[in-house]
Chain A
């Protein structure tokens, strides 16, 4: 059985963190893509450094999850076009709108209900990808 409340709590912490770190701000994303501050790079870089450490510890100690299975992180496929082209399109949208999928939900809760439209547009994009997938280079 899935205990929803713990996932909601994780989401709440995530929402408060990105909001208070100003990572939900269009201006912070603008600043990041101009390399005019260390702030966003500091967030991402410190998360990666600490994250690598955490994942290494998980792997070396064969840590188990709460459902009793060993934690495995499935490897991603080693393709280049898929990540590069897909990443480029995502990055373009990120810089234009100033939000990625996390902040989209967070801003919706902060009172910017117009992000419901953004969510519908993003779902349309995901759906279009699903439809076009067989024709796209991967």
Chain B
């Protein structure tokens, strides 16, 4: 028999987490990594993976002691496990994403979503273009391959992503990180207002 408190704990974790739980949790993660003498930054893994795959012979940018960065790959591996656990054991009874009514209404203005979303509680956590089949459509290919390329290119150009700049960098009051976060929003707004309406 599973003890009652474990079932209660599972139910507690399975609820959707409000922002005021998630924000402090992210800081806890940053703090734990700092206390191990490491810096929180997920996109650094892309550089490590390139170097480990032999890119260090092709460009000086990948000539660094990537073997000492193995800890970060372990964090990434843990994130994969975390995603598995959350989806399989803590998904909770509600499978939809709790977006605002305003967001739902604006999605209805895009034909692609108007066709698929019937009510605010039918918006899935993950859209249907995150699939292998979608890779054979221009939209899925653009989002997965185009989006992936931009994220990988931009994160390294800016020297960090959401975790490295918006969280770690701004917490340490780094001027560069503030500029990077402004850049994130300018780029994100440009795509949201000019590109998203064209592709959906």
Contact = CB atoms under 8 A, between A and B. Distances in A.
A108 B80 CA distance: 6
A44 B153 contact: no
Given A14-B78, A92-B188, A26 B127 contact: yes
B111 interface: no
B37 A89 contact: no
A55 B171 contact: yes
A122 B188 CA distance: 17
Interface in B84-126: 84-87, 90, 97-100, 102-103, 106-107, 123, 125-126
A107 to B, nearest CB: 6
Q: Considering the complex of A and B, which 5 residue pairs feature the smallest CB-CB distances, nearest first? A: A15-B82, A11-B78, A87-B183, A97-B147, A125-B152
A94 B132 contact: no
Nearest to B183: A87
Contacts of A6: 36
Interface in A98-138: 98-102, 104-115, 117-131, 133, 136
Contacts of A128: 149, 152-153
Contact of A31 (B35, B100, B183): B100
Interface of A: 2, 4, 6-34, 36-48, 50-52, 54-55, 58, 63, 65-67, 69, 71, 73-80, 82-102, 104-115, 117-131, 133, 136
User: At the interface, is chain B mostly helix, strand, loop or mixed?
Assistant: helix
Interface string B33-75: 1111101001101110110010100110110000000111011
Contacts of A117: 135, 144-145, 148
B67 to A, nearest CB: 10
B172 A17 contact: no
A43 to B, nearest CB: 5
A129 B149 contact: no
B84 A93 contact: no
Contacts of B84: 15, 109-111
A115 B75 CA distance: 17
Contacts of B123: 27
A11 to B, nearest CB: 2
Contact of A66 (B37, B71, B154, B173): B37
